């Protein structure tokens, strides 16, 4: 879940209960205000009635013009003074054919030296309708206000957090020593400025360390070429000039194999260094199917020794644009891996689908984690011939051209797929 989404959820979790509680509180407050107004009206009518009685007025019409309630008088035995009592009552309305709410005030009044119970009632229907109308529009207003504030908060938060998301996008595509530009307008937000400065320093340190590592590998690989070549030559001359016993010959053969292995490691390191240094910039249109056929043609002896069956029926033309040398290395390492780590009498299946090349081969279950397969020096098995560099070179070439390489496996079948960037004219 994105940070902005979580922020909005938290905001809604707070605002919605607040909105509900506020609406209920507003309802009771509004009811209190309206009831108080009705009670005040009843008190005013009470004083009008008392004034009418005390002044011995006879024109009741004048009284009904001054009051808005209905009233009833009932004699009280003795000199009992009733305290004003307000309450809600319901009476049947013959017109509406339903019980209607009234606000009632009961009190006592003295008329000609005699006590009467004065009951006054005022309809609460109009006030109730008014209250619900006000409540409806208030809730509507509060709801729109909540939605409006949520949308404004979302837009403002999105704008404020935009530098942060830009930082994430930069980090996601970052590659060491690829001239990564990292200039971001943080809108003078101090926290983002600190974050950006920290990341800029980190990128500079990574690029510096990466360049030093590249130079070290390049220098070491170049420096090793000459002594390895001299040692191989001298060993070959030694084997030709000196008559060796079987035991000594075996030891010399092991030394020769070790030198050959060292030579291959040095060659792979040089290749990685050249790929890092972008020394394979020339591109041309390459038909992957032709590269596959050419490699298999030159390795028929190795395939024949293992008695491997090849299935190329669904391997169609696949045109990509890349360096010709790197294309040969990419396909060569993938097919070499499929041949070298196969069973006797196993099979290899090569096919294309959409924009992908897929190579499947039978073989033993891996002894390493799948996510470590493309790491340098990680071996699929412990044979002396395996350098543990082949697939790391494949991965590096794929990274150079933004190809996507994936590995899948079942119990005895391994599958490597490479998704290429297809030329538009090749796919049209």
Identify whether residues 46 and 66 lie together within a single domain: yes
Across 134-159, average pLDDT = 80
- Number of Cβ within a 10 Å radius of residue 338: 23
Residue after which a domain boundary falls, among 158, 181, 212: 158
Identify whether residues 238 and 371 lie together within a single domain: no
Identify whether residues 258 and 326 lie together within a single domain: no
Which residues on adjacent β-strands are paired with residue 86? Answer: 105
Q: What is the pLDDT at residue 250?
A: 84
Identify whether residues 235 and 335 lie together within a single domain: no
**CATH number of the domain to which 249 belongs:** 1.10.287.130
Identify whether residues 416 and 353 lie together within a single domain: yes
In this structure, is residue 185 part of a structural domain?
Answer: no
For residues 107 and 81, give the distance between their C-alpha atoms in angstroms, rounded to a whole number: 8
Identify whether residues 270 and 294 lie together within a single domain: no
Q: What is the pLDDT of residues 308-345, one digit of tens each?
A: 999 998 888 888 888 888 888 899 889 988 998 888 99
- DSSP per residue over 281-342, as a string? ---EEEEHHHHHHHHHHHTHHHHHHHT-EEE-TT----EEEE-HHHHHHHHHHHHHHHHHTP
For residues 55 and 57, give the distance between their C-alpha atoms in angstroms, rounded to a whole number: 5
The answer to whether the Cα torsion of 172, 178, 181, 182 is positive or negative is positive
Q: What is the pLDDT of residues 164-207, one digit of tens each?
A: 777 888 787 777 766 656 666 666 777 778 888 888 888 888 88
Identify whether residues 352 and 305 lie together within a single domain: yes
Q: Looking at the predicted structure, is the pLDDT value of residue 357 above 90? A: yes
Residue 420 — pLDDT band, cuts 50, 70, 90?
Answer: confident
For residues 143 and 15, give the distance between their C-alpha atoms in angstroms, rounded to a whole number: 10
Q: What is the pLDDT at residue 279?
A: 67
Q: What is the pLDDT of residues 299-314, one digit of tens each?
A: 888 899 999 999 998 8
The answer to whether the Cα torsion of 70, 75, 76, 81 is positive or negative is positive
In this structure, is residue 168 part of a structural domain?
Answer: no
For residues 420 and 403, give the distance between their C-alpha atoms in angstroms, rounded to a whole number: 5
In this structure, is residue 295 part of a structural domain?
Answer: yes
Structurally, the chain folds into a number of domains equal to 3
Q: What is the pLDDT of residues 222-251, one digit of tens each?
A: 777 788 888 888 888 888 888 878 888 888
Identify whether residues 413 and 321 lie together within a single domain: yes
In this structure, is residue 163 part of a structural domain?
Answer: no
Give yes or no for a contact between 81 and 115, defined as CB atoms under 8 angstroms apart.
yes
Sort 329 into a burial class: Cβ within 10 Å, 0-12 / 13-18 / 19+. buried
Identify whether residues 233 and 289 lie together within a single domain: no
Lowest-confidence region among 22-31, 72-81, 137-146:
72-81
Q: What is the pLDDT at residue 132?
A: 78
Q: What is the pLDDT at residue 371?
A: 65
Identify whether residues 83 and 118 lie together within a single domain: yes
pLDDT above 70 covers a percentage of the chain that reads 85
Q: What is the pLDDT at residue 424?
A: 43
Q: What is the pLDDT of residues 381-390, one digit of tens each?
A: 544 444 457 7
What is the residue range of 304's domain?
Answer: 284-427
In this structure, is residue 139 part of a structural domain?
Answer: yes
Residue after which a domain boundary falls, among 213, 248, 276: 276
**CATH number of the domain to which 386 belongs:** 3.30.565.10
In this structure, is residue 167 part of a structural domain?
Answer: no
For residues 10 and 12, give the distance between their C-alpha atoms in angstroms, rounded to a whole number: 5
Residue after which a domain boundary falls, among 276, 301, 316: 276
pLDDT above 90 covers a percentage of the chain that reads 9
Identify whether residues 144 and 204 lie together within a single domain: no
In this structure, is residue 175 part of a structural domain?
Answer: no
Across 357-380, average pLDDT = 74
Q: What is the pLDDT of residues 47-86, one digit of tens each?
A: 888 888 777 666 667 677 778 788 888 888 766 677 888 8
In this structure, is residue 182 part of a structural domain?
Answer: no
Rounded to 10°, the helix 3-54/125-160 angle is 160
Q: Looking at the predicted structure, is the pLDDT value of residue 117 above 60? A: yes
Identify whether residues 105 and 234 lie together within a single domain: no
């Amino acid at each position: 879940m994105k940070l902005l989404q979580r922020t909005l959820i938290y905001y809604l979790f707070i605002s919605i209960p607040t909105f509900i509680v506020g609406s209920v509180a507003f309802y009771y407050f509004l009811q209190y205000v309206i009831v108080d107004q009705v009670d005040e009206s009843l008190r005013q009518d009470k004083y009008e009635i008392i004034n009418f009685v005390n002044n011995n007025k006879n024109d009741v019409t004048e009284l009904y013009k001054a009051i808005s309630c209905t009233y009833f008088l009932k004699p009280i035995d003795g000199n009992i003074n009733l305290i004003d009592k307000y309450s809600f009552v319901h009476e049947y309305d013959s017109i509406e054919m339903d019980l209607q709410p009234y606000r009632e005030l009961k009190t006592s009044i003295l008329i000609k030296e005699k006590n009467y119970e004065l009951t006054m009632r005022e309809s609460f229907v109009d006030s109730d309708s008014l209250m619900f109308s006000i409540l409806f529009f208030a809730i509507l207003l509060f709801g729109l206000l909540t939605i409006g504030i949520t949308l404004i908060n979302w837009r403002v938060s999105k704008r404020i957090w935009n530098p942060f998301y830009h930082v994430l996008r930069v980090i996601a595509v970052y590659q060491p020593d690829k001239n990564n530009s990292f200039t971001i307008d943080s809108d003078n937000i101090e926290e983002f400025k600190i974050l950006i400065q920290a990341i800029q320093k980190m990128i500079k340190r990574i690029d510096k360390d990466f360049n030093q590592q590249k130079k070290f590998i390049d220098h070491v690989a170049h420096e090793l070429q000459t002594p390895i070549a001299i040692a191989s030559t001298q060993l070959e001359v030694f084997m030709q000039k000196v008559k060796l016993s079987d035991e000594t010959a075996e030891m010399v053969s092991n030394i020769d194999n070790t030198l050959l292995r060292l030579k291959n490691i040095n060659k792979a390191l040089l290749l990685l260094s050249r790929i890092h240094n972008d020394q394979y910039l020339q591109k041309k249109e390459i038909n992957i199917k032709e590269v596959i056929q050419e490699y298999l043609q030159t390795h028929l002896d190795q395939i024949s020794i293992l008695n491997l069956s090849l299935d190329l029926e669904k391997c169609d033309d696949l045109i990509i644009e890349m360096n010709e040398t790197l294309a040969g290395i990419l396909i060569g390492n993938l097919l070499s891996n499929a041949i070298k780590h196969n069973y006797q009498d196993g099979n290899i299946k090569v096919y294309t689908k959409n924009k992908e090349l897929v190579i499947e081969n039978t073989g033993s279950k891996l002894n390493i984690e799948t996510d470590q397969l493309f790491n340098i020096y990680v071996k699929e098995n412990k044979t002396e011939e395996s350098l543990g560099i082949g697939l790391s070179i494949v991965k590096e070439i794929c990274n150079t051209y933004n190809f996507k390489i994936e590995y899948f496996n079942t119990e005895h079948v391994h599958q490597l797929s490479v998704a290429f960037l297809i030329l538009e004219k090749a796919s049209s």
